[in-house]
A = this chain, B = another copy of it.
Amino acid sequence: MPKMKYEQIYKDLKQKIEGEEYPYQEFLPSENTLVQIYHCSRNTVRRAIGALVTDGYVQTLHGKGVRNIFRPIEQTSYMIGGIESFKESSIRNKKEGRTKVLQFMELTVDEKIAKKTGFPLETVIYYIQRLHYLDGKPLIINHNYFLKSIIPGLTPQIAEQSIYDYLEHTLHMTIVNSKRVVTVEKITQIDEKYLQLDVNDYNCLAVITSQTFNSEGIMFEFTQSRHRPDYFRFQDNAVRKSN
């Protein structure tokens, strides 16, 4: 249970913005005022504000103030920037999520897999194919590749629940960051079958390819996430560099 001040302030401000205690387009209290409110240093306030900027909640204007630019529409979105497991996002979006394991096997990395995933040759991995349902509809097919040496004892039962739960709470692994690429790809027969898509309707889908690293700095997971195009939505907030 970390009780970091800047995160407390960040959450509090976020909540006040979402609850419209600070009106849209208006300025938040000045940094010095917030220092007095939260009884902390200006650095700490600025850190909280910085997090809100990257979230797209506010924008800071030199010499003027910090303006609220949050629009509640974003709440309806399915996915935001962070790293989330399917289970976590289901809960956050208050939907009923379910997962079906289609394949579960151990493999040794050959040249083809090595080129695709970036794992070194000859290492042993789990290959898992899973179908994720949201409110009863099959929306996502995941192809997961996990390094077995890092994640021993993985079972289909765990895969059906939440692998990230297992990693973080049972193995006490720390997931640090994830490099992701969004592309559009042609539908395969597997996609068509499990996602119940009609080629005459959509013949492509959205693919998120991600490489995930733990605190040892090793990439322990390579995943290809194939999303039904009509339910896919990837949100982002970009900040312009001043140059």
Contact = CB atoms under 8 A, between A and B. Distances in A.
Interface of A: 2, 25, 53-54, 56, 59, 61, 67, 69, 71, 74, 77, 81-83, 118, 174-186, 202-206, 213, 215, 217, 229-230, 232-243
Contacts of A185: 229
A71 to B, nearest CB: 8
Contacts of A230: 184
B204 A236 contact: no
A174 B213 CA distance: 36
A192 to B, nearest CB: 14
Nearest to A217: B67
A150 to B, nearest CB: 15
B81 A236 contact: yes
A69 B233 contact: no
A61 B202 contact: no
Nearest to A242: B2
B180 A239 contact: no
A59 B213 contact: yes
Contact of A234 (B74, B177, B181): B181
B179 A236 contact: yes
Nearest to A73: B118
A94 B181 CA distance: 21
Contacts of A53: 177
Contacts of A83: 238-241
A116 B155 CA distance: 46
Nearest to A59: B176
Given A82-B240, A202-B186, A203-B202, A217 B180 contact: no
Given A202-B203, A204-B204, A217-B61, A237 B177 contact: yes
Contact of A175 (B118, B215, B237, B240): B240
Contacts of A213: 59, 69
Contact of A177 (B74, B82, B181, B240): B240
Contacts of A174: 240
Given A182-B234, A236-B81, A217 B69 contact: yes
Given A179-B237, A236-B181, A229 B217 contact: no
